[in-house]
Copies of this chain bind each other. A is one copy, B any other.
């Protein structure tokens, strides 16, 4: 059995490996784990002995197939619990993450598979992130930041980069929620702010900061 701490390290390393390529370095891990590089070295040695990752001194770490599988199971649990809180208990999308951080550590395969079924085998969590299946497969759709689209292009809001409560609440206030279709009207050369039209609404201005943190599936 793995401890909560071990599980959180594996999840953190997986996420780092996702974005920044292959080998993950000690300081990066220390930063997301809110700990010191020395502690990371200790833990990484332990996880390496448990065959969850491969590690070479000064060369960073890389998850093994076993470690990758474990990370995906954690993510599956996290996102299914978020969906439960959102769909069944009517939590808002900015409240679900912290509780899911606790729930993702509950050990029971049957529990998570029954929950999956109870929720109707959802494909995405309340933030639009894909939920890995029982098999560990994760279906990836090409998503674009609003800031990446050109004038006149259309898209459907399908995810967020920033998951903070503050940001999610801001989006909600501006009708920028999952599933909404939008069109790019114009861009400012001064501050890269955008004018967009939300389906069934009037055009609004959004900052470049917002545009870089909302993900779209291209449409039309």
A114 contacts B by Cβ under 8 Å: yes
Check: A149 CB closer than 8 A to any chain B CB.
no
Which A residues lie at the B interface, using CB under 8 A? Answer: 85, 88-91, 95, 98-99, 102-103, 106-108, 110-111, 114-115, 118
Q: Which residues of B contact A110 (CB under 8 A)?
A: 91, 95
A118 touches B99 (CB 8 A): no
Q: Report how many copies the assembly holds.
A: 2
A89 touches B108 (CB 8 A): no
- With beta carbons under 8 angstroms apart, the residue of B90, B102, B103, B107 that contacts A114 is B90
CA distance A158 to B210 in the complex (A): 57
Of A98, A107, A110, A111, most B-chain CB atoms within 10 Å: A111
Contacts of A98 in B (CB 8 A): 108
Shortest Cβ distance from residue A84 to the other chain B in the assembled complex, whole angstroms: 10
A85 to B115, CA, bound (A): 9
Would A106 and B108 count as touching, CB distance under 8 A? no
Whether A106 contacts B102 by the Cβ 8 Å rule is yes
Q: Verify A99–B111 contact, CB threshold 8 A.
A: yes
A85 to B106, CA, bound (A): 13
- In angstroms, Cα B108 to Cα A108, docked, is 21
| Cβ contacts under 8 Å, A89 to chain B | 111, 114-115, 118
The 10 A-B residue pairs with the shortest CB-CB distance, nearest first, are A89-B114, A102-B106, A99-B108, A99-B111, A89-B118, A88-B118, A103-B106, A89-B115, A102-B107, A90-B114
Residue numbers in B under 8 Å from A102 (CB-CB): 106-108
Are A114 and B91 in contact, with the CB atoms below 8 A?
yes
- List the B side residues contacting A115 at CB < 8 Å: 89
A107 — nearest CB in chain B belongs to which residue? B102
Residues of B within 8 A of A107 (CB): 102
- Bound state CA distance, A102 and B114, in angstroms? 17
**Cα A66 to Cα B179 with chains together (Å):** 47
A142 smallest CB distance to B (angstroms): 35
**Chain B residues in 8 Å Cβ range of A118:** 88-89
Task: Indicate which residue in B90, B99, B114 contacts A106 across the interface (CB closer than 8 Å).
Answer: B99
